[in-house]
């Protein structure tokens, strides 16, 4: 590899690194060591391999010099052949070690990526819903991808690079000084001409790369917004195509300009490196040749010095940029640890209990709740703000108390924003109460295992969310061991089996992102089928029939009636057909239960429920 090519690779490494100068954090280093501990045997092998590779790299120029000396001195051809075969053997071993080193590097790097990604993924899954409502999904995914890969470089590249480059540098200098200390010292005089431009140019290139990345991201964001179905519709309805085109062209032109500047700077730098390389080699050949003609230096030593020179500047440049690479890796590690250090608000107790067997009651006792402050559940870097808001939310539930006996259905009605969905979210412990208690089967949910709560309680939300996967996979989330017969039974009871049978691949049809293949009502029936498949003892329906027309609702209501039989249910309803069969109706307003009773008794009371009935429910035909 030529000196300028190696230098360009080192410049690229510096260019893409974070240009931050910051002290080493001992705590960060200890945590990195903890992640590295399972890989310590591989790291030792990797470092030793780097040392051996460095020794071979220095051996080749020395052997080449001996070949020249053997030729000049008129030795027998056997000596030349033996030296040539030895050079060939060194090359073969070097190539084999290169492949082995790449395998070890990949094993270490990919192993570390697996460990870090798994740790972050598992930790994020434990975060409360409030974390996901505030966090930018792209920023969080970036931690799992870009920052994890940045941290991995410390093991796959920098660690071995520093060791092997130090060994190569020391051995090369020792051999060169042994051959000719005068030429070696003069060659080192040219070092600033090589390293200083690389360092300065690296910073300049890094700034241009960051600018280009920002411009590309800006242009990409605009395209993503305009090319999405809602965005394209909005542009067609209200946009001006000519102005949109002009704006996009201006952004693309800025990307073009930064690309031209980057290419020009790269060309200038490569030309300068080639010039420095030529000057250094000219110095070695000129001064070395003069010494050789005077008889103070062997001709082979001149060749060895020239070859060694190409192996001297590369490790020097690499070591000059090693600090930047290490700092970059530390920054990536710290960004990963930042997510891991965000403590989940909801954690399972070490002595958590299972939900009692048999039918269970649901109880709220004097529950008070306020949504947590941003600094409790999120990170400023994940929200793209300078400082998180430390103010806690105002209390949204004020002394909520009710009880749903085993097999009973309790309906929650009230104005939008009254707190109905918040009440529903406290049951599966998506949030924890601030005061009071939420109980399932007489046990506070905070004292129950998360697994038993999930097995006991099922929930269908207003947004029937489906993953970009097959119908089968979306249903098996509820019960992974379910058979095809059970899947079709659940679909039939949700009045969706005919729709799925008409799809190209039936159960194996991919529903698309957010289930775009289905209508809103069909998506909702898919989530109801998932609920029916799970067969849980407590059911929460958060306006589960909101997206259904009257015909579909009637069909699904029959299935729900069958599914809810013998089960405890909390139903948030906006239609009369959903609430008339409830054993108890709770009217929620401004976070308080203002009325409770059956449909008939509440109508007779001529209170808030009667008002809601006349304005919201009476127009919807009952079934």
> Residue 21 above 60 pLDDT?
no
> Residue 366 above 90 pLDDT?
yes
3-state secondary structure of 371: coil
- Angstrom distance (rounded) from CA 399 to CA 405: 20
Helix (H) or strand (E) holding 597: strand 592-597
Mean pLDDT of 20-31: 62
Contact status, residue 262 vs residue 209, Cβ threshold 8 Å: yes
Q: Can you give the pLDDT at residue 437?
A: 92
Percentage of the chain lying above the pLDDT 70 cut: 73
- Angstrom distance (rounded) from CA 458 to CA 67: 80
Q: Can you give the pLDDT at residue 594?
A: 92
pLDDT: which is higher, 184 or 136: 184
Q: Can you give the pLDDT at residue 555?
A: 63
Q: Which residues, at least 6 apart from 404, have a Cβ–Cβ distance to it below 8 Å?
A: 361, 362, 363, 410, 568, 569, 570, 583, 584
Among 224-228, 349-353, 363-367, 485-489, which stretch is predicted with the lowest mean pLDDT? 224-228
Banded model confidence at residue 229, pLDDT cuts 50, 70, 90: low
> Residue 618 above 60 pLDDT?
no
> Residue 91 above 80 pLDDT?
yes
> Residue 608 above 60 pLDDT?
yes
Mean pLDDT of 5-21: 47
> Residue 224 above 90 pLDDT?
no
> Residue 170 above 50 pLDDT?
yes
Highest mean pLDDT among 29-33, 181-185, 520-524, 578-582: 181-185
Q: Can you give the pLDDT at residue 622?
A: 42
Among 98-112, 262-276, 277-291, which stretch is predicted with the lowest mean pLDDT? 262-276
Among 92-96, 135-139, 529-533, which stretch is predicted with the lowest mean pLDDT? 135-139
Q: Which residues, at least 6 apart from 390, have a Cβ–Cβ distance to it below 8 Å?
A: 373, 374, 375
Among 45-49, 105-109, 442-446, which stretch is predicted with the lowest mean pLDDT? 105-109
Contact status, residue 174 vs residue 184, Cβ threshold 8 Å: no
> Residue 480 above 60 pLDDT?
yes
Long-range contacts of 154-158 (CB under 8 A, 24+ apart): 154/32, 154/325, 154/326, 154/329, 154/330, 154/333, 155/36, 155/39, 155/43, 155/108, 155/109, 155/112, 156/105, 156/106, 156/108, 156/109, 156/112, 157/13, 157/105, 157/325, 158/322, 158/325, 158/326, 158/329
> Residue 15 above 50 pLDDT?
no
Q: Can you give the pLDDT at residue 436?
A: 92
Highest mean pLDDT among 8-17, 43-52, 138-147: 43-52
Q: Inter-axis angle of helices 181-189 and 241-293, to 10 degrees?
A: 160
pLDDT: which is higher, 328 or 126: 126
Sign of torsion over alpha carbons 37, 38, 41, 44:
negative
Q: Can you give the pLDDT at residue 108?
A: 79
Cα of first residue to Cα of last residue in the chain, in angstroms, is 81
Mean pLDDT of 283-287: 81
Among 233-247, 301-315, 585-599, which stretch is predicted with the lowest mean pLDDT? 233-247
pLDDT: which is higher, 239 or 178: 178
Of 374, 377, 346, 553, residue with least CA distance to 453: 346
Strands 362-370 and 395-404: antiparallel
Q: Can you give the pLDDT at residue 16?
A: 46
Highest mean pLDDT among 127-136, 463-472, 581-590: 581-590
Q: Can you give the pLDDT at residue 529?
A: 85
pTM exceeding 0.85: no
Nearest 10 degrees: Cα torsion 608, 609, 610, 611 = 50
Contact status, residue 378 vs residue 388, Cβ threshold 8 Å: yes
- Indicate the CATH number for domain 362-375+392-465+537-617: 3.40.50.300
Of 561, 567, 583, residue with least CA distance to 441: 567
Q: Can you give the pLDDT at residue 620?
A: 46
Among 226-235, 290-299, 347-356, which stretch is predicted with the lowest mean pLDDT? 226-235
Mean pLDDT of 515-533: 78
> Residue 334 above 50 pLDDT?
yes
Q: Can you give the pLDDT at residue 516?
A: 67
Contact status, residue 441 vs residue 360, Cβ threshold 8 Å: yes
Q: Does the 3-340 domain belong in CATH 1.20.1560.10?
A: yes
- Where do the structural domains in the chain lie, given as residue ranges? 3-340, 362-375+392-465+537-617
Q: Can you give the pLDDT at residue 3?
A: 47
Name beta bridge partners: 444: 439
- Angstrom distance (rounded) from CA 490 to CA 407: 21
- Angstrom distance (rounded) from CA 103 to CA 295: 47
Q: Can you give the pLDDT at residue 368?
A: 92
Mean pLDDT of 369-387: 69
> Residue 391 above 70 pLDDT?
no
Banded model confidence at residue 11, pLDDT cuts 50, 70, 90: very low
Chain mean pLDDT for the chain: 77
pLDDT: which is higher, 569 or 578: 569
Q: Can you give the pLDDT at residue 37?
A: 81
> Residue 574 above 90 pLDDT?
no
The edge-to-edge listing of strands for the beta sheet with 435-440 is 395-404, 362-370, 435-440, 443-444
Mean pLDDT of 496-509: 86
Percentage of the chain lying above the pLDDT 90 cut: 6
Q: Tokens standing for 289?
A: 């040749």
> Residue 621 above 50 pLDDT?
no
């Amino acid at each position: 590899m030529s000196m300028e090519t190696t230098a360009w690779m080192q410049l690229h490494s510096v260019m893409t690194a974070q240009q931050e100068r910051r002290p080493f954090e001992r705590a960060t280093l200890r945590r990195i060591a903890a992640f590295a501990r399972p890989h310590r045997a591989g790291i030792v092998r990797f470092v030793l391999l780097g040392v051996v590779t460095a020794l071979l790299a220095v051996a080749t120029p020395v052997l080449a010099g001996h070949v020249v000396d053997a030729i000049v001195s008129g030795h027998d051809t056997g000596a030349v052949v033996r030296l040539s075969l030895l050079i060939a053997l060194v090359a073969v071993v070097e190539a084999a070690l290169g492949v082995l080193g790449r395998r070890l590097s990949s094993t270490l790097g990919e192993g570390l990526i697996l460990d870090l990604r798994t740790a972050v993924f598992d930790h994020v899954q434990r975060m409360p819903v409030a974390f996901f409502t505030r966090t930018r999904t792209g920023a969080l995914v970036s931690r799992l991808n870009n920052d994890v890969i940045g941290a991995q470089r410390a093991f796959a590249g920098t660690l071995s690079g520093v060791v092997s480059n130090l060994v190569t540098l020391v051995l090369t200098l020792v051999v060169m000084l042994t051959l000719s200390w005068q030429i070696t010292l003069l060659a080192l005089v040219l070092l600033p001409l090589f390293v200083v431009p690389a360092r300065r140019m690296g910073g300049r290139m890094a700034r241009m790369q960051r600018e280009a990345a920002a411009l590309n991201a800006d242009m990409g964001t605009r395209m993503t917004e305009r090319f999405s179905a809602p965005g394209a519709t909005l542009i067609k309805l209200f946009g001006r195509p000519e102005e949109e085109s002009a704006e996009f062209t201006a952004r693309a032109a800025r990307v073009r300009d930064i690309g031209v500047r980057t290419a020009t700077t790269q060309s200038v730098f490569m030309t300068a490196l080639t010039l420095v390389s030529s000057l250094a080699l000219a110095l070695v050949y000129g001064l070395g040749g003069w010494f050789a003609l005077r008889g103070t230096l062997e001709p082979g030593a001149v060749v060895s010095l020239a070859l060694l020179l190409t192996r001297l500047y590369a490790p020097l440049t690499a070591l000059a940029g090693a600090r930047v690479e290490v700092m970059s890796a530390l920054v990536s590690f710290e960004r990963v640890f930042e997510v891991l250090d965000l403590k989940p608000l909801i954690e399972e107790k070490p002595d958590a209990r299972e939900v009692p067997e048999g039918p269970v009651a649901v109880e709220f006792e004097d529950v008070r709740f306020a949504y947590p402050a941003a600094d409790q559940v999120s990170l400023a870097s994940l929200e793209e703000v300078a400082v998180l808001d430390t103010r806690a939310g105002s209390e949204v539930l004020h002394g909520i108390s009710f009880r749903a006996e085993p097999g009973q259905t309790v309906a929650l009605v009230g104005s939008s924003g009254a707190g109905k969905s918040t009440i529903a979210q406290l049951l599966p412990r998506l949030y924890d109460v601030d005061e009071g208690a939420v109980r399932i089967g007489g046990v506070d949910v905070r004292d129950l295992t998360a697994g038993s709560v999930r097995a006991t309680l099922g929930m269908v939300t207003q947004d029937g969310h489906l993953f970009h996967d097959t119908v089968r996979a979306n249903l098996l989330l509820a019960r992974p061991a379910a058979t095809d017969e059970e899947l079709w039974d659940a679909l039939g009871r949700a009045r969706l089996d005919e729709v799925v049978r008409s799809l190209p691949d039936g159960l194996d049809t991919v529903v698309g992102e957010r289930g775009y293949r289905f209508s809103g009502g069909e998506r909702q029936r898919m989530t109801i089928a998932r609920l029916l498949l799970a067969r849980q003892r407590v059911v929460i329906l958060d306006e589960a029939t909101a997206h259904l027309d009257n015909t579909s609702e009637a069909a699904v209501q029959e299935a729900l009636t069958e599914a809810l039989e013998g089960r405890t249910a909390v139903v948030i309803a906006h239609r009369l057909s959903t609430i008339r069969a409830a054993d108890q109706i709770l009217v929620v307003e401004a976070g308080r239960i203002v009325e409770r009773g059956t449909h008939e008794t509440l109508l007779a009371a001529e209170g808030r429920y009667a008002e809601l009935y006349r304005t919201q429910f009476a127009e919807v035909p009952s079934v």
